[in-house]
Structure 1
């Protein structure tokens, strides 16, 4: 179907950033991305099991992505 995988890019980017990949590029590992994918899948599954509405699931995932990006830029600025 044309809408299969819709909004999957949010999960993919968030998983990579949580796993340690820099949004500026040049830093990251496959193991970190896989670990980030496990974290995002666990979060997604947990929210689905708690019957959290899809709208709020997207908001939580977006907030996590923003937090991970902010932490990445904050640690880059210090070093």
Structure 2
């Protein structure tokens, strides 16, 4: 895991062509939302790597689409937060139905 984190840091630094301590701030929301959208449960024991990858593709497509449409960053956070809340509610509902 640390090797992948180091690789992603190197790639992100190369993309920005600079290194700052605040370069990765606010990526936490995207990572958590991608995991939830991909089917990972907060209770544990549920989810697959492929689901997380699909969730990451969905969240990144959503973000890129909003950027292309010219949606403001404040609204983007609200929309991504709403997607995260919807994924958590879906997770809780399906977990309660399994019991």
Query: TM above 0.5, one fold?
Result: yes
Cα RMSD for the two superposed structures: 0.6
Rg larger in structure: 2
1:16 paired to 2:30:
no
Unaligned runs of 5+ in 1: none
Cross-structure match for 1:63: 82
Shift of 1:29: 0.6
Secondary structure at 2:56's aligned position in 1?
Answer: helix
Structure 1 Cα separation of the partners of residues 34 and 25 of structure 2: 16
Structure 1 Cα separation of the partners of residues 41 and 30 of structure 2: 16
Structure 2 Cα separation of the partners of residues 78 and 7 of structure 1: 33
Aligned to 1:52, which of 48, 71, 81? 71
Structure 2 Cα separation of the partners of residues 66 and 23 of structure 1: 13
Structure with larger RCO (C-alpha < 8 A, sep 6+)? 1
Unaligned runs of 5+ in 2: 1-19
